[in-house]
Amino acid sequence: MAVGGVPCIGLAADAEPGGARPGLPQALGPAEALRPGDRRHRGVQKNFPATLAGIAREQGLGLDAVEIWFADEARVGQKNGITRRWARRGTRPSAPQDQRYASTYIFGAVCPQEGKGAALVLPFCNTAAMNLHLAEISALVSSGKHAVLLLDQAGWHLSGDVTVPDNITLLPLPPKCPELNVMENVWQFMRDNWLSNRVFRDHDDIVALCCHAWNRLVDQPWRIISIGISDWAHGF
């Protein structure tokens, strides 16, 4: 699915989303020590099959007609990250570092079981932008199926002004549990491989590279499956 940059449409910016905390077990190594939120997200994992079955019943569908999607936003800008690089042993490779502040946001969502994704590159994170993204996701839900969209509790996700399409049910994740959202792993993969260690000329360059990176991802459905499949969300 091609994704294009959406021009500035005069949206007022909400507060910026907080960055994901370190310690994503699926992507960065061993799990952290027990935290207060652990019991909360274990409850989500344990109860997820029953929650999914309840949504399917409400929609008059079987479980095989429910698609599990994950959604999140990533800010990409000129003040970019520096990641590990391949280099000859004993050398010290250089990497560019920009100090300017132009940026944009990727609104991204993936359905790991189907290996598909939907995204928009937008200037702000707010309710109007969220509505555009939900419409994009809705268009990619298979005919006759219903999407359960897992996402964090950002204000623009759960605002009363959010327009949720008929074929989508929003399922908020507990706070402070980014490890439950596989989009965090998708963002890390994209930054490590396609978006970091570079200097963007201007805002249009950022938008173009974000679109190119996302299109590379959705052209590799096996990659989405590999990154996104998790035992608690798909192993039942």
What amino acid is encoded at 78 in this protein?
Q
Is residue 18 one of the residues assigned to a domain? no
Is residue 134 one of the residues assigned to a domain? yes
Report the pLDDT value the prediction gives residue 236, as an integer from 0 to 100: 74
The CA distances from residue 152 to 26, 102, 185, 217, 235, in Å, are 18, 25, 14, 22, 22
Sequence-ordered list of residues with C-beta below 8 angstroms from that of 186, at least 6 positions apart, any chain:
72, 108, 110, 217, 224, 227, 228
The packing angle between helices 183-190 and 203-218, to 10°, is 120
Task: Specify the number of domains making up the chain.
Answer: 1
Tens of each residue's pLDDT in the chain, 236 residues: 445 444 444 444 444 443 333 433 333 334 344 455 555 567 789 999 999 999 999 999 999 999 999 999 999 988 767 777 777 888 888 777 777 888 999 999 999 999 999 999 999 999 999 999 999 999 999 999 999 999 999 999 999 999 999 999 999 999 989 999 999 999 999 999 999 888 889 999 999 999 999 999 999 999 999 999 999 999 87
Report the pLDDT value the prediction gives residue 3, as an integer from 0 to 100: 58
Report the pLDDT value the prediction gives residue 21, as an integer from 0 to 100: 39
Is residue 181 one of the residues assigned to a domain? yes
Is residue 48 one of the residues assigned to a domain? yes
Contact 108, 216 (CB under 8 A): no
String of b and e for 154-168 (b: at least 16 CB within 10 Å)? bebbeeeeeeebebb
Kindly report the three-state secondary structure assignment for every residue of 150-185.
Answer: EECCCHHHHCCCCCCCCCEEEEECCCCCHHHCCHHH
Is residue 15 one of the residues assigned to a domain? no
**pTM value?**
0.79
Report the pLDDT value the prediction gives residue 122, as an integer from 0 to 100: 97
Is residue 221 one of the residues assigned to a domain? yes
Contact 182, 227 (CB under 8 A): yes
Environment class of residue 50 by beta-carbon count within 10 Å: exposed (0-12), middle (13-18) or buried (19+)?
exposed
Residue with tokens 């399917």: 56
Is residue 6 one of the residues assigned to a domain? no
For 201, the domain range is 39-82+99-234
Round to whole Å and give the CA distance between 220 and 18.
28
Residue with tokens 């199926």: 145
Report the pLDDT value the prediction gives residue 158, as an integer from 0 to 100: 92
Round to whole Å and give the CA distance between 114 and 203.
32
Round to whole Å and give the CA distance between 215 and 223.
12
Round to whole Å and give the CA distance between 167 and 138.
7
CATH, residue 150: 3.30.420.10
Is residue 195 one of the residues assigned to a domain? yes
